[in-house]
Chain A
Amino acid sequence: MSSATTAAVLPDAVPARAADSWYPLRRALEAVLAPLVALGVAGVLFSVFLLCLGQSPLDFLDLVWRGAFGSWFSIQNTVQRAAPLLLTALCVALPGQLGLVIIGGEAAVVLGGLAATVAALPLVHGGPFLVLPAMAIAGIAMGAFWIGISGWLKARLNVNETIASLVLAYIGLALFNHLVEGVLRDPSSLNKPSTYGIGDGNMLDTVPWLDVHPGLPVGILACVLSWVLIYRTSFGFASRVTGGNVRAAQLQGLPVTRLILVACAIGGGCAGLAGAIEVAAEYGRANASLNAGYGYTGILIAFLARFNPLAIMPMALLLGGLTAAGGLLQRHMGLPDATILVLQGLIFVSILTSDTLYGRFRWFQPRGTA
């Protein structure tokens, strides 16, 4: 068994010694400090990169600050970009508890959005209180079904879920395009093929006062609920045990097949809901704009958060902030758009490398009767 993969999802097998009441706090500190140190290291490396190009790292920091967090507008910008990523990251993090790596969330987003639109079309005159729940249900169901296929293939036939979900993502996107530009197309959508609209009156508004994407509260709620599910229910415990060691779980009589199916379905449902919200809040109809890469970015966030739903939130903010700042870098430093990709790559390599720091320092470890 490769210890590497399980590290991120291992349940707290060793309970804290009763004598060491500060241990949980120190452990939390360790979990916060390690990525922060990694972030710092990535920052230093990137500064060196900029210096080599003859650019000032200070200008860069200033722009990142201004573009991502420096003003109410920038914060809104960052949060707005982070909102859809919360749900798509859960699509990776929930099956991740079982040691599954699902990378096909993108298809769940677009198909979820499409299903939500189709569900809304016959109800257009029923008003938002009828349309929006129908969209949410259809989106969740479609996403759950699509990622559920990968889970089912894994549970029943032992088809590798990473590869099945990747291949199914390509197939799902093809299906989406085929339907949107074929039978479901609104003939009046001339140069941007789209489905019929759900009606302006039925669309989701931005969050009052904050003026941010309605996906944000939904995403936060989903992250919190997922955390409860994983760390406070027997389903979550069973999943984490299975993620730690499948054979042990089977020996203990845990329903591994059902756990896999349920985790994949919930994760897929989250991604499908993300698609439904995008349609309801942004486009009002399904078209190629749904295929914006949220599913793929969600993978990165989930891994950075080490599959912890609460950690997904700051990581989504970090990523949203970087993208928000990316535009300013292009405009003010004349750097190509790929600069932000380089920085993201450095940050990810660095943060994931920092996983090795866990448990290296005695100070963070349980004390007492040693």
Chain B
Amino acid sequence: MEALSTVLLAMLAGSLRVSTPFLFVSIGECLTEKSGRINLGNEGVLVLGAMVAYATSYETGSPWAGVAAAGLAGLLLGGLHGAVCSLARVNDVAMGIAIMLAGTGLAFFFGKPYVQPTAPLLPGIPFGFWSSSAQVRNALLVCPLFLLGIAAAVAMEWCFRATRVGLRIRIVGDSQDAALAMGLPIARTRFLATACGSALAGVGGAFLSLYYPGSWNEGLSSGQGLMAVALVVFARWNPINCIYASLLFGAAGALGPSLQTIGITWGYYLFYAAPYVVTLIVLIITARGGRSLRGMPGQLSIGR
């Protein structure tokens, strides 16, 4: 039993630790995809955001300035994606891959001088102050960005559901014809949704370098940005579901190391793949053969 509780606590702690970048990228991607465009480039945005955040925090001494700079970097790179994709005949999936490469390249290139120095990091909020157990205290040491991400997800859901702006984005994403008939600015809406979505992804990158694991190096992202795009499908284009999806993905990711701490070392590669297996299973269970997925924007190119 003690072993089980160790694993469960580790999974809880792990999901709080590693879910934040998934959360930010997936709600950012959710916003972009709701407007009818896909941005695989958020992987590159995540890496660039991580580098810019770390460099800015180091240069200015303020981690929050780093977060802001990461958001700005995301806004610019996402803006580039948005602008280019609004040209006729440009493929948004392919361009996303190009943006991924460009973002990663820029981050690695300009990040070289920041691999060695140590920058000030974001402080955690100690929600576990009541506990005498160091593990619980540490598990509940929560990054303010995580709370910010949840707030952003809730706000975005409300925005989609109850505001004019949200409705416009949804119409643009669902039916080009309806949007045209209503005279909505399709290109501008998508451009803004893409840029803002990437700004969120950039903030997700700031979490990686300024909180957890909390340093800048070239191996920092192991495809989190791409997986977050997968989580949006998993979450049915609903920002609230993105929270659950990210937490579940984070918890599954903590399974591998925590099983090893209780002595189960067999097949660790397979346990490390647990988050992907979970994602695949959920995708299959929730799939609806032959029909479009509920919540999926009708104009999304991947959904045909």
Contact = CB atoms under 8 A, between A and B. Distances in A.
Q: Do chains A and B touch in the complex (CB under 8 A)?
A: yes
A344 to B, nearest CB: 6
A343 B91 CA distance: 20
Interface in A173-229: 174-175, 177-178, 181-182
Given A303-B91, A352-B90, A352-B95, A181 B269 contact: yes
Contact of A101 (B105, B267, B300, B302): B302
Interface residues of B, dominant DSSP: helix
A160 interface: yes
Interface stretch (A17-25, A136-144, A151-159): A151-159
Contacts of B112: 336, 338
Given A8-B94, A175-B270, A355-B91, A167 B84 contact: no
A328 to B, nearest CB: 17
B87 interface: yes
Given A168-B276, A337-B108, 10 more contacts: A3-B89, A99-B304, A162-B302, A178-B269, A299-B97, A339-B105, A342-B102, A345-B99, A352-B95, A353-B87
Nearest to B84: A353
A174 B85 contact: no
Interface stretch (B18-26, B194-202, B225-233, B239-247): B225-233
B181 to A, nearest CB: 17
Interface stretch (B6-14, B67-75, B161-169, B285-293): B285-293
Contacts of A163: 229-230, 233, 279, 283
B273 interface: yes
Contact of A344 (B101, B269, B283, B304): B101
Contacts of A353: 84, 87, 90, 95
A334 to B, nearest CB: 11
Contacts of A153: 283-284, 287
B90 A158 contact: no
Given A338-B109, A342-B102, A353-B87, A174 B270 contact: yes
Given A159-B284, A166-B230, A355-B89, A174 B102 contact: no
Interface of B: 36, 44, 80, 84-85, 87-95, 97-99, 101-109, 111-112, 218, 223, 226-227, 229-230, 233, 267, 269-270, 272-273, 276-277, 279-280, 283-284, 287-293, 299-304
Given A4-B90, A174-B272, A355-B90, A158 B109 contact: no
A346 interface: yes
Contact of A338 (B92, B105, B303): B105
Interface string A225-263: 000000000000000000000100000000000000000
A61 interface: no
A2 B299 CA distance: 6
B94 A352 contact: yes
Nearest to A163: B230
Contacts of B301: 2, 4-5
B98 A158 contact: no
Given A344-B105, A348-B98, A167 B230 contact: yes
A166 B227 contact: yes
Contact of B279 (A5, A7, A167, A349): A167
17 contacts: A8-B94, A156-B289, A158-B290, A159-B284, A162-B93, A166-B227, A170-B276, A299-B97, A300-B101, A338-B105, A339-B105, A349-B80, A349-B84, A352-B90, A356-B88, A358-B89, A359-B89
Interface of A: 1-5, 7-8, 99, 101, 153, 156-160, 162-164, 166-168, 170-171, 174-175, 177-178, 181-182, 246, 299-300, 303, 336-346, 348-349, 352-353, 355-356, 358-359
Given A300-B97, A353-B90, A356-B90, A170 B273 contact: yes
A349 B93 contact: no
Contacts of A349: 80, 84, 95, 98-99, 102
B97 A160 contact: no
A347 to B, nearest CB: 9
A209 B292 CA distance: 54
A5 B91 contact: yes
A116 B164 CA distance: 58
Contacts of B270: 174-175, 178
Contact of A352 (B91, B267, B276): B91
B227 to A, nearest CB: 7
B106 to A, nearest CB: 6
B269 A303 contact: no
A341 B105 contact: yes
A143 to B, nearest CB: 19
A301 B106 CA distance: 20
